[in-house]
Structure 1
Amino acid sequence: MVRWDAERVRTRSGELGDLLADTVAGGASVGFLAPLDRAEAAAWWRRRAEQVAAGRLAVWAALDGTDRVTGTVGLDLPDKPNSRHRAELVKLMVHRSARGQGLGRRLLATAEEAAASAGITLLHLDTETGSPAEHLYRTAGWTRAGTIPDYAADPSGVLRGTTLYYKRPGSPPG
């Protein structure tokens, strides 16, 4: 996993957009409705480059042997004085062609280790209730905090609940 700076996010936004579009096409609820246009997805990533440059977002990418983006994970870092001890895990995505090989778990571990190294003592995330991602988070030691019904539409537009999880970086899997 390689942490990308703002310039890399900007220049490779097309590839990141391809990953985002593939993730949405695969049914993952990551904030977008299907079908997600590749250009729209790339533009979304270009806008994230501004957050990376400002130090508000950290992005890691996984690349395959041909230098193709196969996964990402991010940490959204709050800028408020009372919340600098925490971060939100965002956009953990693995291309459908790379799933089932432990890449999601490695991306998650990379973000957790970076958070701990940066002095972040609390991570949180939300994920679609009943999604395959829930198994990953539970087995990686994340604690379920609760569920909010009808929180967001899945890629097909159906309202789904979201489950909130948290973890203290450096804590062992449960």
Structure 2
Amino acid sequence: MLSAVNELAELLTDTVDGGASVGFLAPLDRPTAVDWWRGRAGALTDGSLAVWAAYLDGRIAGTVSLVLPDKPNSRHRAEVAKLMVHREGRGRGLGRSLLATAERAAVEAGLTLLNLDTETDSPAESLYRSAGWIRAGVIPDYARTPTGELRPTTIYYKYLSAPPN
């Protein structure tokens, strides 16, 4: 059985190969993906990053992260990042389950606001809207797709408790 970092690297390369804009250009080689995940270790250890995985047939098939700000004026919020589901696991509710897990953990941590960004018109947008996320706006030419095309990104947010007056 592959180690967790190797399974996470395989998930990342599959996500990029599948065309998702998650910060990498194609082709993404396995050593680069392994190094990227290993590079998250410090943030996991210091508590500025939390990562959850979903399993399918005993292997990691999805992941989501919460990035926690380090500034005193932003400790009420976090960013949802790198929600990824392996192409073989899509359509099985893994993305929705991972998103709900991150939201529950944020509530348990006392956070009141989450934000995220996703490629405009991507399949992920319907997931976020159906889960109660609110579209804040679009930034044109924000990031490149794995093939190098500049695409807009849509910013979303979600209150985890009643919004302040």
Compute the TM-score of the two structures, normalised by the length of structure 2. Answer: 0.94
Q: Pick from 11, 14, 18 the counterpart of residue 10 of structure 2.
A: 18
Q: Matches of 1:84 and 1:39 in 2, distance apart? A: 34
What letter corresponds to residue 94 of structure 1 in structure 2?
A: V
Q: Pick from 19, 28, 51 the counterpart of residue 27 of structure 1.
A: 19
> Is 1:41 aligned with 2:50?
no
What is the CA deviation profile of residues 138-166 of structure 1, one whole-angstrom value per residue up to 9, with x for unaligned ones?
A: 00000000000000000100000000000
Q: Which runs of 5+ in 2 are unaligned?
A: none
**Identical pairs, percent:** 67
Q: Matches of 1:56 and 1:13 in 2, distance apart? A: 19
Q: Pick from 146, 152, 156 the counterpart of residue 147 of structure 2.
A: 156
Deviating runs (4+, > 2 A) in structure 1? none
Q: What do you get for the CA RMSD once the two structures are aligned?
A: 1.0
Q: Pick from 64, 69, 72 the counterpart of residue 60 of structure 2.
A: 69
Question: How many residues align structurally?
Answer: 160
Q: Pick from 93, 99, 104 the counterpart of residue 108 of structure 1.
A: 99
Q: Matches of 2:42 and 2:21 in 1, distance apart? A: 23
Which residue is equivalent to 1:78? 69
Q: Which SS does the other structure have where 2:62 is aligned?
A: strand
> Is 1:91 aligned with 2:82?
yes
Which residue is equivalent to 1:144? 135
Q: Matches of 2:46 and 2:116 in 1, distance apart? A: 21
What letter corresponds to residue 155 of structure 1 in structure 2?
A: P
Q: Which runs of 5+ in 1 are unaligned?
A: 1-10
